[in-house]
Structure 1
């Protein structure tokens, strides 16, 4: 698994929403699944719905 560097990058708590955004490195497995660090999994309840934003480094023309 990736390095265990997990950061909370956003926290919103008011009478309508309680939201936390986490930032961490992850890998896509050969099966096409994203591996989540254990530190994140411990923060999530089973069957909890989450929103996912995926940021990828685009390769430059020089790298292709």
Structure 2
């Protein structure tokens, strides 16, 4: 397991602006699906996470 402290330091040392977004909606209106799709399309998921989710869905 990676050292979380070093990961936080790596992220905080980047010269980037943080964008915080809130998704609000009624139950079963696709909030989690939308967030998952955004993470997938922007390659923001950890290595192997997409395959892990696909295996869980197939079971």
TM-score range, shorter chain: under 0.3
Structure with more of its chain in strand, by fraction: 1
TM-score, normalising length: structure 1: 0.22
The answer to which structure, 1 or 2, has the higher relative contact order (CA under 8 A, 6+ apart) is 1
Structure with more of its chain in helix, by fraction: 2
